[in-house]
A = this chain, B = another copy of it.
């Protein structure tokens, strides 16, 4: 259970509410709470990382069971999915924490949140352009090696 799991193997295991890939968002609302290991299966993050996100203020407060265990809800998983998206844009965790703070502060921060997202959007566009550039270079080199082989 380190990183990869055969996501479509058995469809009724204890942590399989969320792991089948065919429907991209298979989180049912019937029982809107998941253990940390179910959240792990959903998000691809480790339990350590999920707890760490909470410690540093990147999670908007996760419910607990009567015995103190974390119970993730659909909105938490949605948030984590969004965080994952931000993560692969290269955004530093500190900036994501900042955004999470703005969310906690309520509607008065809509403007600032929008600015943050728009600046991120610009970064993403830049990054895409750079990658296209890189792609061109790679194709040239690959063509060279293909010709020389």
Contact = CB atoms under 8 A, between A and B. Distances in A.
B82 A131 contact: no
B121 A132 contact: no
Contact of A134 (B88, B107, B110, B142): B88
A124 interface: yes
Nearest to A128: B131
Contact of A131 (B88, B138, B145): B88
B145 A110 contact: yes
A149 to B, nearest CB: 5
Interface of A is mostly: helix
Given A107-B148, A117-B142, A149-B114, A131 B124 contact: yes
Given A131-B127, A131-B128, A132-B128, A120 B145 contact: no
Given A127-B131, A128-B132, A131-B128, A137 B107 contact: no
Interface residues of A, number: 33
A149 B110 contact: yes
Contact of A114 (B82, B110, B118, B145): B145
Interface in A110-149: 110-111, 113-114, 117-118, 120-121, 124-125, 127-128, 130-135, 137-139, 141-142, 145-146, 148-149
